[in-house]
Amino acid sequence: MNGLRVYFKPNGTNLRNGQEVFYSRRGNGPYYRWLYEETAAQWRVSRVIAADFTPQSLAMASWKAVPVALQTRLGEHYLE
């Protein structure tokens, strides 16, 4: 996963409806939002629309802070 960066929103704003949210980007590609869906027990991904998004509000996440199940999904999403 060369060039992959994972982000979160700091200051307790990393939750959406009580669920943890992560963002990812590889190289100069698009941003993606990752939300854990408890009913399906899996991470859902959606591409972020640039007009509705401020990347400056994000902070880099350490790989250790990323849940293992999300690490797996990121690997599937960003195939080499």
Domain that holds residue 36: 4-74
Q: What is the mean pLDDT of residues 24-52?
A: 92
In a domain, 15, yes or no: yes
Q: Is the pLDDT of residue 1 over 80?
A: no
Helix (H, G, I), strand (E, B) or coil at 66: coil
In a domain, 17, yes or no: yes
Predicted confidence at residue 79, as pLDDT, reads 86
In a domain, 80, yes or no: no
Q: What tens digit of pLDDT does each residue of 9-28 get?
A: 886 555 555 568 899 999 99
Instruction: Please give the tally of structural domains in the chain.
Output: 1
Helix (H, G, I), strand (E, B) or coil at 60: strand
In a domain, 79, yes or no: no
37 or 74, greater pLDDT: 74
**pTM of structure:** 0.85
Q: What is the mean pLDDT of residues 50-68?
A: 89
In a domain, 34, yes or no: yes
Cα-Cα-Cα-Cα torsion 52, 56, 58, 60, nearest 10 degrees, comes to 140
The Cβ of residue 1 has, within 10 Å, a number of other Cβ atoms equal to 15
